[in-house]
Structure 1
């Protein structure tokens, strides 16, 4: 055993990190959505969430210059509000037992998929301040509780007529900020210790390779293909979360 994890748990984390890294590089999201439900069955939900946040911090430096250059300005207020709301989600995470936490995390993955299936916004749609603010606050709450800032952020950008590079970079910028806030808040509030950070560090090389593969693939696909892939990612994440939840209860 390494860090108290069995060989099966380590293998599960490595496989999940590789796939999640590829998806992150291609779609701009998916690291936590894919990693937390899977790895959360090998470790406690709290540890899986915090490890995913630490991994998000490490992965956030990959291509950061390009991300900042291409991101939409709305990513800044969303990030600020999300960071402010993250500690509240961390507190909630520390209060909810493991079994209900797994159910809620699976529900979050399903909700993200359903939201993306809603009709596209008109081409001239401009999000209101309320919509932008609500996206930031709920993203922060979900970062702290589930390590998943994506469910409100992905539909915010994916349902609008934005170039894939802009939508992808905007999401990545928000997720970098929320990962940093989630990891530091969990440490400060005592929800998790440095063990989760060490687990993330061990998974980082595999996730980094996957992210590099995804980045290369992103530059070769068209807007329509990219949106289809993004939708499929959320669908698979939702289905996988439900399947693992059923297996855990079996």
Structure 2
């Protein structure tokens, strides 16, 4: 990777890591949307790097917070996530080798739907959903995570519908992303997918994301949760539309 591309990617990582810490979402979608849209690295390499740096973000953001998250919710999410990760990674390999334009369109659709889901502000349910519903949202999240290293809109929307404190939801999403990233990284490693390119970019990115995460915990933005959601929504919708336009161009010209 050229120096300019590396600097741009690290800047994106820093912004995404900070926003992810203060809001509970955004790291993977912002990195994949911005860096993937710029074409600074291939989608498989970026997805593997996102998984690794998400683990760093979670390791800094989560300590001391596990008791409030609820073992049944965590177990149900993990049961749904693990098997669908494998299918998502296989689908990524197939699409990257044969249908690059379609892969770009899918990435754009994921980022766009992520922005829309953040802006929907679903009304919380009166009672918490049963564990099986967390497993279903976990399975859909695992598919998104396997494809792009990005746990997608299903789990964000599902968690925000629960009658839980916002801080619990934020931490639950970070833990869900950590489970997805951990399972994906282990599977990709077993398939020989953690290449030199992945480790080179990841080793540059990890301290940047770790520092941004620390700043997010220590110095959160002095703005309301509603404003944070709107900023995240506009960012992701803009990135999603740009990537969809790029994918459409590739489809027409390819």
TM-score w.r.t. length of structure 2 = 0.85
Deviation digits for residues 112-136 of structure 1, max 9, x if unmatched?
2223344633451321344222101
Deviation digits for residues 117-157 of structure 1, max 9, x if unmatched?
44633451321344222101011111110111132111112
After TM superposition, give the deviation of residue 42 of structure 1 in Å. 0.5
- Distance in 2 (CA, whole Å) between partners of 1:200 and 1:236 is 24
> Structure 1 stretch 84-93 or stretch 108-117: which is displaced more?
108-117
Q: Tell me if structure 2 keeps the 8 A contact 1:218–1:226.
A: no
Q: Tell me if structure 2 keeps the 8 A contact 1:110–1:238.
A: yes
For 1:36, which of 32, 37, 40 is the aligned residue?
A: 32
Alignment of 1:1-250 (within 5 A): 5-40=1-36, 41-73=39-71, 74-97=73-96, 98-118=100-120, 120-218=122-220, 225-246=224-245, 249=249
Judged with a 3 Å threshold, the aligned counterparts in structure 2 of structure 1 residues 180 and 105 are, in CA distance, closer, same or farther, namely same
Judged with a 3 Å threshold, the aligned counterparts in structure 2 of structure 1 residues 125 and 141 are, in CA distance, closer, same or farther, namely same
Q: Tell me if structure 2 keeps the 8 A contact 1:187–1:194.
A: no
- Distance in 2 (CA, whole Å) between partners of 1:12 and 1:245 is 21
Q: Tell me if structure 1 keeps the 8 A contact 2:104–2:246.
A: no
Deviation digits for residues 47-104 of structure 1, max 9, x if unmatched?
1111101111222211332331332441332023212321111111100033321211
The two structures, once aligned, show a CA RMSD in angstroms of: 2.3
- Distance in 2 (CA, whole Å) between partners of 1:227 and 1:209 is 25
After TM superposition, give the deviation of residue 46 of structure 1 in Å. 0.9
TM-score w.r.t. length of structure 1 = 0.87
After TM superposition, give the deviation of residue 229 of structure 1 in Å. 1.2
> Structure 1 stretch 121-130 or stretch 78-87: which is displaced more?
121-130
Unaligned 5+ runs, structure 2: none
